[in-house]
Amino acid sequence: MPKHPEDKKRAMTRLNRIRGQCDALERALEAGDPCGPILQQIAAVRGGINGLMAEVMESYIREEFAADAASGKADDLLALVRSYLK
């Protein structure tokens, strides 16, 4: 988990948003809503999870490579991870 308070706050905010999306998805499924909007909501949840994963991973990489910040290793690795997650 991110150690910096601002990073942790961002991750928790994103998680709360994902929770809201999952609750809306559950209500839509229970109500028998059409498949199109349900699939769109599933895609939104997946995007939110991917964003959370990228955010936590970025925080972790920055913490682990803090000593190598001047060399740009963390930035190179982050660019690679971001391109993979898109």
Q: What is the CATH number of the domain that holds 28?
A: 1.20.58.1000
The boundaries of the domain holding residue 43 are: 5-84
CB neighbour burial string for 21-39, b if at least 16 within 10 angstroms, e if fewer: bbebbeebeeeeeeeeebe
pLDDT at 77: 81
Average pLDDT, stretch 61-79? 75
Residue 70 in this model has a pLDDT that exceeds 70 = no
Radius of gyration of the chain (CA): 17
Question: Taking the model in full, what pTM does it have?
Answer: 0.77
Given pLDDT bands bounded at 50, 70 and 90, which one contains residue 16?
Answer: very high
Q: In the chain, how many domains are there? A: 1
Contact status, residue 59 vs residue 7, Cβ threshold 8 Å? yes
Q: Tell me what the mean pLDDT of segment 32-56 comes to.
A: 93
Quick check: 1 pLDDT over 70? Answer: no
